[in-house]
Structure 1
Amino acid sequence: MKNIIAIISTVIVVGLMAYTFSNGRAFQGGEAAKFFGDIKVDNNAQVNSQPAENENLEDDKIRALRDKAGNNSSFQVSNAYKSKCASCHGVDGSGLQNGKKLMGPGLIGQSEEKLYTDLVEFKAGRKENLIMKGLLINLSDEDLKEYAKEISQFKARRDALEK
C-alpha cells in the first residue's frame, strides 16, 4: 500500500513539473506581478527608442513600484529607518502608506524624549511588542537616541516641504 501511494505521489509531482515546464518558468511574483505584467525574455531583441508617452508610462510604473516598496518619501530618511521602521510606521512616520493604515502607529509629531523612552521600554520588554523588541534588542542606547532624534524631526521636515 505504501509503495502504491509513493508511486501515485511521484507521478503527480512529475506531471505537475512537466505542466509547469510546458507553460514557461514558474513566477511567484504576488503583488509584484501586477507591476511587471507578462515579462518575456528575448535574447535577440534590439534596443530602440520609445515614444515620449511610453517613457511617462514607465516613470509611472517605477513610481508605483517605489511606493509599493516603501521607498518614496517627501523628505530624506536614513537607510536605518527605512530598513527597520518604515514597513510598519511609514516612510515619513505617518503610519500610512498610499493612504492605507499600516501595522504600526504614526510617529510623526512626537518629541525626541517620548520616542526615546518608548524605544527603551520596548527594548526592555516593559511595553509588549515582539516585533519592536526583536528589532531593538541588538541596538545600543546611542542607536536608540539616533532613531528618536531622526523621527522627532519628521514633522519639521514635512512642514518645511509643504511651504
Structure 2
Amino acid sequence: MKNIIVGALTLFIIGLMVFTAMDDPVYHGGEHSKVIKDFGTGDGKNQNMTASTAPQEKSDREKENEELNALRDKAGNAGAFKVSNEYKSKCSSCHGTNGSGFQNGKAMMGPKIFGQSEEQLYKSLADFKAGRRENMIMKGLLIKLNDEDLRRLAKEIGEFPQRAKERE
C-alpha cells in the first residue's frame, strides 16, 4: 500500500513539473524570455527600465557623511588598547574589542566583561567550560582550552581597565 501511495505521489509531482514547464512563457519564447535574454546586456535597449529603477548618484552630503562615518569607525578602533590575538579570535566578536559589550556604538551579543576582576572572570570561564553555567557558544569556545589558558585569558581581560587608563 505504501509503494502505491509513493508511486502515485511521484507521478503527481512529475505531472506538476511537466505542466509548469509547458505553461511557463519563458519556455515558449514569450515576453518573459526576451527580458531574461536582454537582462544585463547594458545596451540600454530595455524599455522596461524606468527612471525610478536607474541607479541614482549620491549627493555630496551623503558622500561626506559616509566618509565621516568611516573615519569615526577607524578612530574608534585605533583608540582601543591592544589585546591578544586569542582575545580577538575568541571573545571580541561577542564582547567587543575592549570587553565593553559594545562595538562602534552598537550593543554586542555578549555582556560587558570590562571591569571584572581576574578571579571573577576565571570562575566564569571555568563554570562555562565545566557546564555549570549554560551557554553553548562559550562552552564551544572554551572546550579545548586548559586551566592555564583560562587563567591567561582571565588575567588579560582583568587588565583591561588598567590598559584603558594607560591609553588615555
Q: In 1, Cα distance between the equivalents of 2:13 and 2:75?
A: 51
After TM superposition, the score normalised by the length of structure 1 is 0.62
Partner SS state of residue 83, structure 2: coil
Unaligned runs of 5+ in 2: 1-11, 42-54, 56-62
Instruction: Return 58-67 or 129-138, whichever deviates more.
Output: 58-67
Q: In 2, Cα distance between the equivalents of 1:127 and 1:114?
A: 13
Q: In 2, Cα distance between the equivalents of 1:66 and 1:138?
A: 35
Instruction: Show the counterpart of 1:79.
Output: 85
Q: Does residue 4 of structure 1 match 2:24?
A: no
Partner SS state of residue 139, structure 1: coil
Q: In 1, Cα distance between the equivalents of 2:15 and 2:101?
A: 55
Instruction: Show the counterpart of 2:119.
Output: 113
- Residues 5 and 97 of structure 1: CA distance in aligned 2, closer, same or farther (over 3 Å): same
- What's the % identity of the aligned pairs? 48
The answer to whether the Cα contact below 8 Å between 2:73 and 2:104 also exists between their aligned partners in 1 is no
Aligned positions of 1:1-150 closer than 5 A: 1-7=12-18, 8=20, 19=36, 22-23=39-40, 61=70, 64=73, 74-150=80-156
C-alpha RMSD of matched pairs (Å): 3.6
Unaligned runs of 5+ in 1: 25-37, 39-53
Aligned residues: 127
Q: In 2, Cα distance between the equivalents of 1:127 and 1:72?
A: 34
Instruction: Name which one, 1 or 2, has greater alpha-carbon Rg.
Output: 2
